[in-house]
Amino acid sequence: MISSPRRASRLGTLALGTALAAAGASLPSAPASAAEDGPLLSYVVNTKPNSSHTRAAAEAVVANGGTVVETYRKIGVVIARSSDPEFADNLRARGPKGDIWSVGQTRTAGIEASVDDATAVASAGRRTARATASAVTPDPLESRQWDLPLIKATQAQEINPGSKRVVVGILDDGIDDTHQDLAAQVDDSLSTDCLSGKPDSSVGSWRPASPTADYHGTHVAGTVAAARNGVGVVGVAPGVTLAAVKVVNPDGLIYPEAAICGFMWAAQHDFDVTNNSYYVDPWLFWCRGDEDQAAVQDAVLKAIAYATEQDVFNVAAAGNENYDLANKTTDATSPDDSTPVTRPVDAECLSLPTEAPGVVQVASVTQAKAKSGFSNYGYGKIDVAAPGSSILSTFPGDRYGTISGTSMASPHVAGVAALLKSTHPKADPAQLLQLLRAQADPLPCPTTGAAAAQCTGTTAYNSLFGYGLVDALDAVS
């Protein structure tokens, strides 16, 4: 989940600063015909990838009165909807050796068409032009971007601002691709809306539903690659290409079907890097002891694994709960789309996509290179750290604002990863991860304060900062 002024804070943001004035001006589906005595809900149906079982599973959905939203044959996942309370149980009765391996309800609140099938925002046309690399001249607000020199991004840009051939997908609540700092950066032909679980690439569908409330993705995008163009701010890798993949609905929720669609879109469109500043709702942790949550966990993990196999390097925020991810005990915040309950959690309960294998998990630091008070941590969980407290970046409508959160740390790492990919175009995700870790500047455990008690490990690797603070200059040297 991410947040805005009208939403509870989750993974995305913690504090919203005052916005600044612009510096310059599938298978055919049948309607549900069975029981109509429950809310319309969404499901994932897992089966064998790349086989006739996927089609058979989709046909079983329709035969049981459900609607097929999308079929992802490459990973053996069907996204479905039904208002029949017995829908999942009826499909499970066909397993475990048949076409249905598992079925999982993806939410606890009913689907509202106005939220998950939002009307596309009107578009001013496609923007695929790219800014050309130029000498490093400070943009007007760059002096307020303390985060760039901290990770040596400004120095890195003097060597290599990033290649336009490198595509970074921003899985979030959309990007305002009319913004003066982003218009030349976003490739609309690679952008889409994944809210329903099926990509919708109609013109402008990837834009924020509300230019005032849905600022998160635009802010993240600016941190990765705002143009060095003499206005506003500049990103970590201003030479790379951005793609907007909308996975966050207007209520600030990221349901599993949207995340699955996002990772599959990235894989199918040859993205090099994705940034994921969210956790998959409605569960902070998806637990294997619950059959719905276990099925969803499997489906999301399959989508991420497929993207990684297609050479997509996935970066995610560690979370803003100040929680030790290596020692899970309880969760009192889930489900966050209805009524939360306090429940026990353990190591088999995963925050997604953050704890998925191969995903880079990013913690947040302050300007003093200290742990941000909100940042999650955990020995063996955190890969690297990056600036995340009071980060200035782009807002919709040619505005700028300051936000805090691991959501802000993650795009710094995505930007550095894009610089690494620009420097080493043939590197695969495993090699990029090795480089990212090896080039990070180690940060020692603090000796005083609350964070000192949370820190385990050595200067070379510890629970707060992982392998250390990312280094953009090393990425291009």
Domain residue spans of the chain: 15-25+125-476, 41-116
Beta bridge partners of 106: none
Task: Tell which CATH classification among 1.25.40.340, 3.40.50.200, 1.10.3720.10, 2.40.50.140 matches the domain 15-25+125-476.
Answer: 3.40.50.200
Whether 216 sits among the annotated catalytic residues: the reply is yes
Task: Name the token pair of 414.
Answer: 């995505």
pLDDT at residue 97, as a whole number: 60
* Long-range contacts of residues 85-89, Cβ cutoff 8 Å, at least 24 apart: 85/35, 85/37, 85/38, 86/35, 87/34, 87/41, 87/43, 88/43, 88/292
Instruction: Tell me the per-residue pLDDT of 187-228, one tens digit each, with 9 for 90 and over.
Output: 999 999 999 999 999 999 999 998 888 999 999 999 999 999
Q: Is 53 one of the catalytic residues?
A: no
- Omega cis (within 30) before 353: yes
Give the pLDDT score at 196: 97
Q: What distance in Å separates the CA atoms of residue 176 and residue 170, rounded to the nearest whole number?
A: 12
Q: Is 424 a catalytic residue?
A: no
- Cα 442 to chain centroid, rounded: 25
pLDDT for 129 equals: 27
What does DSSP say about strands 384-387 and 360-365: parallel, antiparallel, or unpaired?
Answer: parallel
What residue type is 233 in one-letter code? V
Q: How many CB atoms lie within 10 A of CB 367?
A: 11
Which parts of the chain register pLDDT below 50?
3-35, 114, 118-135
Of 407, 410, 422, 463, which is the active-site residue?
Answer: 407
Q: Which of 83, 116, 179, 216 is catalytic?
A: 216
Phi then psi for residue 230, to 5 deg, are 85, 5
Look at domain 41-116 and name its CATH class: alpha beta
Q: What is the pLDDT of residue 137?
A: 61
d(Cα 163, Cα 426) in Å, to the nearest integer?
13
User: What is the tens place of the pLDDT at every residue in 334-381?
Assistant: 999 999 999 999 999 999 999 999 999 999 999 999 999 999 999 999
Tokens for 264? 């599959």
Q: Looking at 116, 139, 147, 172, which residue is catalytic? A: 172
The pLDDT of residue 113: 54
Phi, psi for residue 170 in degrees, rounded to 5: -100, 100
- What is the model's pLDDT at position 120? 34
Residue 31 preceded by cis peptide, ω within 30: no
Reading the block at residue 469, the tokens are: 């603070």
From the list 325, 472, 367, the residue with the least C-alpha distance to 413 is 472
